[in-house]
């Protein structure tokens, strides 16, 4: 009887487990004024999209989602000191990004880490990709740093309505890792699919086959901004 009771308690605890979110203490930092405030470091790790590549080789960081997020946060928090730090590298995948995570990301003393690699992970072994994402998540958690996993922006060569499409599969992998590790998910891919389902051609969201334009980056930034609500 006692064993059954314990199992029921554990099941209820799992059912009502708190959804992951940014720490209230961190969110409170955004509203502080000088001299009580401090710098808040937001680090973006990934491939060409957070790096700011639009139509290769043109790089437009101020029309890309890390800095668009910055603008939206500053509109709401005029007293906040926010550093946008980009550690992403065009053409890189998560396997390479994981190898330099400690050296290039954690050294910046992030308050939040954002990870975006799905577009370039499609040609990699799914098991190795999942292991790389989990490794980065656990390195962040070991250092008590909130981490946000970002599902991909679109690609005009992808069939967004086909669950077997490699991009859809990588998005699902990221969702699975976020759930298993109980970390934040920015489901940009779901927002992108919803926008296309409404009738927006992908070409209206892309500057080239696999890089968003300003409108596509604004869509991603809106998803990220929603994570910063108290």
- Give the per-residue pLDDT at 20: 80
Q: Tell me the per-residue pLDDT of 23-69, one tens digit each, with 9 for 90 and over.
A: 999 999 999 999 999 999 999 999 999 999 999 999 999 999 999 99
* Better pLDDT: 1 or 8: 1
- Give the per-residue pLDDT at 44: 98
Strand 206-208 to strand 211-212: parallel, antiparallel, or no bridges (unpaired)? antiparallel
Closest CA to 153 of 222, 225, 203, 206: 206
**What percentage of residues in the chain have a pLDDT greater than 90?**
90
Classified as helix, coil or strand, 154 is coil
Phi, psi angle pair for 96, to nearest 5°: -75, -40
> Cα(109)–Cα(145) distance, rounded to whole angstroms?
9
DSSP code, position 2: H
> Cα(124)–Cα(129) distance, rounded to whole angstroms?
7
Name the strand (E) or helix (H) holding 1: none
Phi, psi angle pair for 215, to nearest 5°: -65, -40
Q: Tell me the per-residue pLDDT of 149-182, one tens digit each, with 9 for 90 and over.
A: 999 999 999 999 999 999 999 999 999 999 999 9
- Give the per-residue pLDDT at 179: 98
Q: Does domain 21-228 have CATH number 3.40.50.1110?
A: yes
Q: Tell me the per-residue pLDDT of 99-158, one tens digit each, with 9 for 90 and over.
A: 999 999 999 999 999 999 999 999 999 999 999 999 999 999 999 999 999 999 999 999
Tell me the domain boundaries of the chain: 21-228
Whether residue 85 contacts residue 44, with contact meaning beta carbons closer than 8 Å, is answered with yes
Cα torsion angle, 185, 198, 49, 171, sign: positive
């Amino acid at each position: 009887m006692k064993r059954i009771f314990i199992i029921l308690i554990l099941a209820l605890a799992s059912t009502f487990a708190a959804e992951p979110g940014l720490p209230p203490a961190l969110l409170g930092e955004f509203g502080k004024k000088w001299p009580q405030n401090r710098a808040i470091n937001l680090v973006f790790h990934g491939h060409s999209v957070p790096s700011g590549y639009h139509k290769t080789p043109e790089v437009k960081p101020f029309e890309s989602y890390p800095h668009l997020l910055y603008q939206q946060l500053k509109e709401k928090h005029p007293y906040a000191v926010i550093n946008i730090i980009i550690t992403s590298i065009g053409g890189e995948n998560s396997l390479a990004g994981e190898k330099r995570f400690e050296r290039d990301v954690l050294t910046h003393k992030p308050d939040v880490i954002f990870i975006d690699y799905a577009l370039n992970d499609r040609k990699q072994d799914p098991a190795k990709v999942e292991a790389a994402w989990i490794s980065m998540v656990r390195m962040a958690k070991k250092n008590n740093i909130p981490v946000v996993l970002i599902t991909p922006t679109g690609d005009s060569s992808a069939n967004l309505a086909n669950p077997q499409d490699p991009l859809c599969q990588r998005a699902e992998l990221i969702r699975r890792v976020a759930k298993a590790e109980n970390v934040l998910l920015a489901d940009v891919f779901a927002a992108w699919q919803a926008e296309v389902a409404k009738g927006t051609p992908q070409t209206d969201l892309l500057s080239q086959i696999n890089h968003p334009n300003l409108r596509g980056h604004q869509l991603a930034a809106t998803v990220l901004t929603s994570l910063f609500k108290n």
